[in-house]
């Protein structure tokens, strides 16, 4: 599966309507981003059951800000519509494959239950997450 370019308008639906989504936040001027691009593309060919999406932080500045991107490349993984991994920095191919196997191995119902418990705690008076609804889409 090839990678897809992701925009603010499509972000929420892409995350909520797919079981596993890996998002690469990047920019054309970023050397590490350019070096990571072929690794990301190769992983998309091996893991056809995962949606691989790229967000150009220059073109999608609002989305990058909403996602709290402060360094690129940044990878985010979503499972069952829930953010389960977020880390700045490029990964070597083997580490990316390991990450994807771990994310795919997560129990979707358990992930959603834990996310719901976190939201319930926030509503009970704890500090709410600053992440946008699109990042918490289910």
Give the pLDDT confidence score for residue 126 in this predicted structure.
Answer: 46
Give the pLDDT confidence score for residue 10 in this predicted structure.
Answer: 95
Render each residue's pLDDT in the chain as its tens digit; 138 residues: 578 999 999 999 999 999 999 999 999 999 999 999 999 999 999 999 999 999 999 999 999 999 999 999 999 999 999 999 999 999 999 999 999 999 999 998 888 888 888 877 776 654 444 444 444 443
How distant, in Å, are the alpha carbons of 49, 53, 57, 104, 120 from that of 71? 28, 17, 10, 25, 30
Give the pLDDT confidence score for residue 1 in this predicted structure.
Answer: 55
Structural domain count, the chain: 1
Let me know if 33 is a catalytic residue: yes
Choice among 15, 21, 23, 33 that is catalytic: 33
**pTM, two decimal places:** 0.84
Is residue 6 within 8 Å of residue 62, measured between CB atoms?
no
Give the domain range for residue 97: 4-136
Choice among 6, 30, 77, 83 that is catalytic: 30
Give the pLDDT confidence score for residue 117 in this predicted structure.
Answer: 87
The CA distance from 42 to 125, in Å, is 44
The CA distance from 78 to 84, in Å, is 5
Let me know if 57 is a catalytic residue: no
Q: What CATH number should be reported for the domain holding residue 93?
A: 3.40.30.10
């Amino acid at each position: 599966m090839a990678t897809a370019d992701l925009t603010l308008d499509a972000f929420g639906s892409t995350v909520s309507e797919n079981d596993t989504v890996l998002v690469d936040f990047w920019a054309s001027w970023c050397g590490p981003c350019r070096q990571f691009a072929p690794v990301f593309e190769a992983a998309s060919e091996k893991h056809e059951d995962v949606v691989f999406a790229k967000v150009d932080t220059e073109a999608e500045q609002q989305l990058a800000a909403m996602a709290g991107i402060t360094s690129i490349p940044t990878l985010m993984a979503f499972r069952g519509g829930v953010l389960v991994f977020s880390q700045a920095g490029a990964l070597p191919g083997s580490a990316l494959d390991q990450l994807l196997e771990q994310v795919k191995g997560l129990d979707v119902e358990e992930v959603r239950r834990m996310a719901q418990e976190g939201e319930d705690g926030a509503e009970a008076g704890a500090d709410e997450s600053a992440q946008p609804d699109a990042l918490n889409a289910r």
